[in-house]
C-alpha cells in the first residue's frame, strides 16, 4: 500500500513539474528572483490542479468523432442574378 501511495505522489509531483516547466523556462534567466517567485507562485494553483484539467479535457471530448457535414451545393449562375424587372406602365 505504501508503494502505491508513493507512486501516486511521485506521478502527481511530476505532473506539477511538467505543468510549471514552460513558466520556469521562460522566466529562469530573464526575470529577477523576486519576479520569478511571483510568477511561479501565480502559476502554482493551475499546476497543482493538473489532474482536474486533464480529466476535463478527456471528459469533454466526444468518444465518437462527429460526422462531417455534406459540402454545400454551388448556386447556379442564373439564380445569382436578380430576375429582370418588368417595365412599369406610365
Q: In the 3-class helix/strand/coil scheme, how is 29-77 assigned residue by residue?
A: CCCCHHHHHHHHHHHHHHHHCHHHHHHHHHHCCCCCCCCCCCCCCCCCH
Predicted local distance difference test score (pLDDT) of residue 42: 93
Distance CA 37, CA 28 (A): 10
Predicted local distance difference test score (pLDDT) of residue 59: 84
Give, as one character, the DSSP assignment of residue 81: S
Predicted local distance difference test score (pLDDT) of residue 61: 64
For 46-79, what is each residue's pLDDT tens digit? 999 999 988 988 887 666 556 667 667 766 666 5
For the question of whether the overall pTM of this predicted structure is more than 0.85, the answer is no
Distance CA 58, CA 55 (A): 5
For 33-52, what is each residue's pLDDT tens digit? 999 999 999 999 999 999 99
Higher-confidence position of 69 and 29: 29
Give, as one character, the DSSP assignment of residue 90: -
Amino acid at each position: 500500500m505504501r508503494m502505491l501511495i508513493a507512486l501516486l505522489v511521485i506521478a502527481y509531483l511530476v505532473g506539477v513539474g511538467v505543468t510549471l516547466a514552460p513558466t520556469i523556462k521562460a522566466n529562469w534567466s530573464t526575470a529577477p528572483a523576486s519576479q520569478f517567485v511571483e510568477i511561479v507562485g501565480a502559476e502554482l494553483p493551475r499546476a497543482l490542479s493538473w489532474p482536474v484539467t486533464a480529466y476535463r479535457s478527456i471528459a469533454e471530448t466526444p468518444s465518437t468523432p462527429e460526422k462531417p457535414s455534406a459540402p454545400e451545393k454551388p448556386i447556379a449562375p442564373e439564380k445569382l442574378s436578380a430576375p429582370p424587372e418588368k417595365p412599369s406602365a406610365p
